[in-house]
């Protein structure tokens, strides 16, 4: 017979299982709990959108749109794109679903996102994000609330130690224009020494040069003028209100005047929570204010601010997750006991007991299986027990054994 080749897992994708699955669940459960504490709603969005949703809102000059999107024509000929992030889809839904009526809208989502990148540790082509946004709030209080929520999430995950909040302002429109002109003048003077990528950025999106990881660009980027000299009074007051709010809430931050976000629509607050525990993939959570994004999709001017975090990167930072555990394993010995065990397991599960059955091998192997499943108790069932309507309950940690009537089992195990 011809040998059939097993298909490969696609590069940059993951099968999240076992220990990894527990870490994922811990991140998502904690996010769900924290978003309730902060009174944020939850939405589930389509995995794909019309390509223009991302192209127009994220911006043609960003790496995400120019190099990383999974874009394809569907069978009807429409150009679709697998979501590379959540903000654009939320802004689209805000407009198409008439969510203006709920403004200010505090909303979260989570799930898979897709980017065509070079896979490495902490960098995948299908990865997962948790995301929080506030739409229709122009006040710095919204920025503060989102940052305090991010900080609490990291604390509850037990990873706040070693993760730093870096904060910057990109100013208002007037500030940004003036700063942009200052940056262009500076970079033009060093044109000859910039990387090829940064020469393209210089024409299209000069702020991105500040963000460059190319060693040729670093000294030039580091010597570029800070935004501070260009800040309008309003922009400075906004930034001061954000930092005052963080201080009041007891959230530590550091200023990073080199921090920029790719989007053309970013205004005022920009931030990243970074760690040195993940090598080059050190940004775990990032976001900022994007007043102007909803307008880019044809909506009325709408303030917006939000963040996204990589679930994989948060999961990697977690301490060893708690081992899986269940309440009990039923160990039937003999055909009659096995037949009775099927009904018993169903009854116990209906009563809220997490119980599995070990039906392979000798008693010793069955008890080993109970151990491997992390069961607290083995419910041993043989012919004698069956006749008496009882089971032997063996506490696996101590080896202690006692007899319990079938009718009292659920109570004894809960
Ligand atoms: P990076 O600089 O690492 O490429 P980014 O600026 O592209 O990050 P964002 O678009 O801000 O990232 O996405 C928010 C978060 O999503 C990041 O802080 C990171 O935790 C996570 N993330 C981004 N790209 C990937 C990826 N390819 N694989 C896994 N996680 C990712
Ligand atoms: Mg990236």
Would you write out the chain's pLDDT as a tens digit for each of its 414 residues? 678 999 999 999 999 999 999 999 999 999 999 999 999 999 999 999 999 999 998 887 788 888 999 999 999 999 999 999 999 999 999 999 999 999 999 999 999 999 999 999 999 999 999 999 999 999 999 999 999 999 999 999 999 999 999 999 999 999 999 999 999 999 999 999 999 999 998 988 888 898 888 999 999 999 999 999 999 999 999 999 999 999 999 999 999 998 987 677 789 999 999 999 888 889 999 999 999 899 999 999 999 999 999 999 999 999 987 788 899 999 999 999 999 999 999 999 999 999 999 988 888 898 898 888 899 999 999 999 999 999 999 999 999 999 999 999 999 998
Q: How far apart are CA 72 and CA 85, in angstroms?
A: 17
Q: Where in the chain is the domain with CATH 3.40.50.800?
A: 326-413
pTM value is 0.92
Would you call the peptide bond into 309 cis, given omega within 30 degrees of 0 as the criterion? no
Q: What CA–CA distances, in Å, run from 15 to 310, 320, 322, 340, 379?
A: 16, 19, 20, 37, 33
18-172+232-317 under CATH 3.40.47.10, yes or no: no
Q: What is the Cα Rg of the chain in Å? A: 28
Q: Where in the chain is the domain with CATH 3.30.930.10?
A: 18-172+232-317
Q: How far apart are CA 328 and CA 358, in angstroms?
A: 10
User: Which pLDDT value is given to residue 387?
Assistant: 92
- Closest residue by Cα to atom 21, ligand 1, is 310
Best mutation site among 11, 14, 274, 283 for ligand 1 pocket (most ligand atoms within 8 Å of CB)? 283
What is the 85 CA–ligand 1 centroid distance (Å)? 9
Q: Which residues line ligand 1 (CB under 6 A)?
A: 85, 115, 117, 122-124, 127, 129, 281, 283-286, 308-310, 312-313
Q: How far apart are CA 221 and CA 207, in angstroms?
A: 9
- Closest residue by Cα to atom 9, ligand 1, is 286
CATH number corresponding to 326-413: 3.40.50.800
Q: What angle do CA 6, 9, 11 make, to 5 degrees?
A: 135
């Amino acid at each position: 017979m011809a040998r059939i080749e097993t298909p490969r897992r696609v590069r940059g994708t993951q099968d999240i299982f076992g220990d990894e699955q527990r870490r994922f669940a811990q991140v998502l459960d904690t996010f769900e709990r924290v978003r309730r504490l902060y009174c944020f709603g939850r939405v589930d969005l389509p995995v794909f959108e019309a390509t223009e949703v991302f192209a127009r809102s994220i911006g043609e000059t960003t790496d995400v749109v120019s190099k990383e999107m999974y874009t394809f024509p569907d069978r009807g000929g429409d150009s679709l794109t697998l979501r590379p992030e959540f903000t654009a889809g939320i802004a689209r839904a805000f407009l198409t679903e008439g969510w203006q009526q709920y403004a200010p809208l505090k909303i979260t989502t989570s799930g898979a996102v897709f980017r065509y990148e070079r896979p490495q540790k902490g960098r995948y082509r299908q990865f997962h994000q948790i995301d929080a946004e506030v739409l229709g709030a122009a006040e710095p209080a919204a920025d503060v609330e989102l940052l305090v929520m991010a900080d609490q999430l990291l604390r509850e995950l037990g990873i706040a130690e070693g993760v730093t909040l870096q904060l910057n302002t990109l100013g208002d429109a007037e500030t940004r224009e003036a700063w942009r002109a200052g940056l262009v003048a500076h970079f033009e003077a060093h044109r000859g020494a910039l990387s090829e990528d940064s020469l393209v950025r210089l024409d299209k999106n000069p702020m991105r040069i500040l963000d460059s990881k190319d060693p040729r660009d670093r000294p030039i980027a580091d010597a570029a003028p800070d935004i501070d000299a260009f800040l309008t009074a309003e922009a400075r007051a906004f930034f001061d209100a954000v930092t005052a709010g963080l201080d009041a809430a007891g959230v530590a931050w550091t200023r990073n005047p080199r921090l920029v976000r790719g989007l053309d629509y970013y205004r005022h607050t920009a931030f990243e929570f970074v760690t040195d525990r993940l090598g080059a993939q050190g940004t775990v959570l990032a976001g900022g204010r994007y007043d102007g994004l909803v307008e880019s999709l044809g909506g009325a001017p709408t303030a917006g601010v939000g963040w996204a975090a990589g679930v994989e990167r948060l999961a990697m930072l977690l301490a060893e997750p708690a081992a899986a555990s269940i309440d009990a394993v039923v160990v039937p010995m003999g055909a009659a006991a096995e037949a009775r065990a099927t009904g018993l397991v169903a009854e116990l599960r209906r009563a809220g007991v997490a119980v599995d059955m070990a039906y392979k091998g000798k008693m010793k192997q069955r008890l080993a299986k109970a151990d491997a499943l992390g069961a607290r108790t083995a419910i041993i069932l043989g012919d004698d027990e069956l006749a008496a309507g009882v089971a032997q309950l063996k506490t696996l940690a101590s080896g202690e054994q006692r007899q319990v009537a079938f009718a009292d089992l659920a109570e004894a195990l809960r």
